[in-house]
Structure 1
Amino acid sequence: MPKDTNAHGTIFGGVILSYIDQAAAIEAKQHGASFIVTVAMREVVFHEPVYVGDLVSFYTGLVKIGRTSITVNVEVFARRGEGIGETVKVTEAEVTFVNLDEKRKPIPIPRRSTGA
């Protein structure tokens, strides 16, 4: 969106970070975390700018589940131009969340059965 652009006419990095946080939270919740807060974003690398009109995709993967924390890797790709354009990795980051109870105290992440 044009309102999300910086002085260079590209999408502001903070907007991308916000979407990374949301994508990572969805992944974390699929692994048993319930009420989570972001405690760290590490290894954030902006490889390429994102332009207005790019089709942006976020891909997530579980890195690690600790006792009360969960870490997710997020890779962001942009497809340039109309139709079938070039696809480039634009950003990547590692996001760590802590699972909290209703009093905002860290609690263990429930272990899911593998069914085996």
Structure 2
Amino acid sequence: MTPDDDEITFRTRKWIKPEDLNANGTLFGGSLLRWIDEEAAIYVMIQLGNERVVTKFISEINFVSSAQQGDVVEMGLRATAFGRTSMTMRAEVRNLFTRQSILTIEKMVFVNLGPDGRPTPHGYTDITYERDRVPERLRVAGSPTQW
């Protein structure tokens, strides 16, 4: 099953614990942004088949609502464009149980790097729902080609 072209797929969940809270007792925005950046980088690595990717740009971050200790949030990402050396996506975080949006980011750009640390063309123009772009050298010996 593949999502609609504009649909964000929510796959990663985080449980809000005391160490994730700010002075107001709600989810610290910095923690949330760290989680999103990490999840987005992993998503890009799979899409581009390269573990050498970096965050280039994050557009306006819209904090819509907050989360409390004990809440479970889920993060969703969606590729929106492929450049010659980059990939652009949008992100949303919502409360797992209420489905209330917590944060939206319309544009996150990641750049594909070569072994020399410079931007390098990746050669992709579309999203994959298979994990076949993960380089063979990163797979466990004897594991299937699809995770």
- Report the aligned-residue RMSD: 1.9
Shift of 1:113: 8.3
Match of 2:112 in 1: 99
Match of 1:82 in 2: none
- Bigger mean CA offset, 57-66 vs 33-42: 33-42
Is 1:9 matched with 2:38?
Answer: no
Shift of 1:30: 2.8
Shift of 1:26: 2.4
CA contact (8 A) 1:48 1:90 kept: yes
Match of 1:29 among 19, 34, 45: 45
CA contact (8 A) 1:61 1:72 kept: yes
Q: Give the alignment's TM-score, normalised by structure 2.
A: 0.68
User: SS of the residue aligned with 2:116?
Assistant: coil
Q: Deviations over 1:2-34 (max 9, x none)?
A: 112111101110100011112212221232251
Q: How many residues in Structure 1 have an aligned counterpart in Structure 2? A: 109
Q: Whose strand proportion is higher, 1 or 2?
A: 1
User: SS of the residue aligned with 1:97?
Assistant: strand
Match of 1:89 in 2: 101
Query: Identical aligned pairs, as a percentage?
Result: 32
- Which portions of structure 1, spanning 4 or more consecutive aligned residues, are displaced by more than 2 angstroms? 110-114
Change (3 A) 1:69 1:22: same
User: SS of the residue aligned with 1:87?
Assistant: coil
Change (3 A) 1:113 1:97: closer
CA distance in 2, matches of 1:100, 1:64: 17
Q: Give the alignment's TM-score, normalised by structure 1.
A: 0.84
Match of 2:84 in 1: 67
Greater length-normalized contact order (CA 8 Å, ≥ 6 residues apart): 1
Match of 1:55 in 2: 72
Shift of 1:86: 2.2
